[in-house]
């Protein structure tokens, strides 16, 4: 039985999708905890209502600057490791993680980013895709490395960018696919189906890694 720890900063709609899929799908895993860096994160109430332990490591308590980031990550790591995770899942966790933290969870931490990486790392991805004239946009699940929004790609979801789209409309279209793709990627990991070959991740049984 694999233990999954999910990190959130807000509502955590992808966390919700993963919690529900794990319960409904009979995964060989359990959601061991949902942890937030914000005590007012709405997703904490959802987790508690579904019997998932929760914890808060408030980043504001550590101040600002590089030393504060290192101290926050050290405390977050301590709390996460208290749940003996096999996999750490970032689901709208709005913190830039230090290299030491990402190294500690190398090969067992996933993130979802709302663009077709390596295009548009960082913030405001949907607006940037519209402004760039992209005909498609999407989201990417990847293993986390020290480089922001990089790492071996597990799965991608693609949607059309429609005439008249604004950031909110495009984001909503992408999010619907995220809620299918991210639970699938997490399930693949806990089932031992993912093989990382350099920058490429393959599904051992050949399950499609593109969602549309």
Q: Where are the alpha helices (DSSP H) in 26-88?
A: 43-49, 66-81
Distance of CA 83 to the CA centre of its chain: 18
β-pair type (136-143, 54-56): unpaired
Residue showing tokens 């290299």? 99
Q: Please state the length of the chain.
A: 212
Which residue in the list 59, 113, 126, 142 is annotated as catalytic?
Answer: 113
Judge contact between 149 and 121, C-beta under 8 A.
yes
- What are the phi and psi torsion angles at 61 (to 5°)? -70, -10
Residue showing tokens 């190294």? 103
Residue showing tokens 């959130």? 8
Is residue 150 among the annotated active site residues?
no
Catalytic residues: 113
């Amino acid at each position: 039985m694999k233990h999954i720890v999910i990190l959130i900063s807000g509502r955590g709609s992808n966390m919700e999708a993963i919690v529900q899929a794990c319960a409904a799908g009979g995964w060989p895993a359990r959601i061991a905890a949902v942890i937030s860096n914000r005590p007012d994160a709405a997703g904490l109430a959802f987790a508690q209502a579904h019997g998932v332990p929760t914890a808060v490591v408030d980043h504001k308590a550590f101040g600002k600057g590089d030393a504060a980031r290192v101290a926050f990550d050290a405390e977050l790591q301590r709390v996460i490791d208290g749940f003996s995770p096999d996999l750490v899942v970032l689901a709208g966790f709005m913190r830039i993680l230090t290299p030491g933290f990402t190294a500690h969870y190398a090969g067992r931490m996933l993130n979802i980013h709302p663009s077709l990486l390596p295009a548009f790392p960082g913030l405001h991805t949907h607006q940037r895709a519209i402004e760039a004239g992209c005909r498609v946009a999407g989201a990417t699940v990847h293993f986390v490395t020290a480089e922001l929004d990089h790492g071996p790609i597990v799965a991608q979801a693609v949607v059309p960018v429609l005439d008249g789209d604004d950031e909110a409309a495009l984001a909503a279209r992408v999010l619907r696919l995220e809620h299918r793709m991210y639970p699938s990627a997490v399930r693949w990991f806990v089932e031992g189906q993912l093989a990382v070959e350099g920058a490429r991740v393959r599904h051992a049984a050949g399950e499609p890694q593109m969602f549309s």
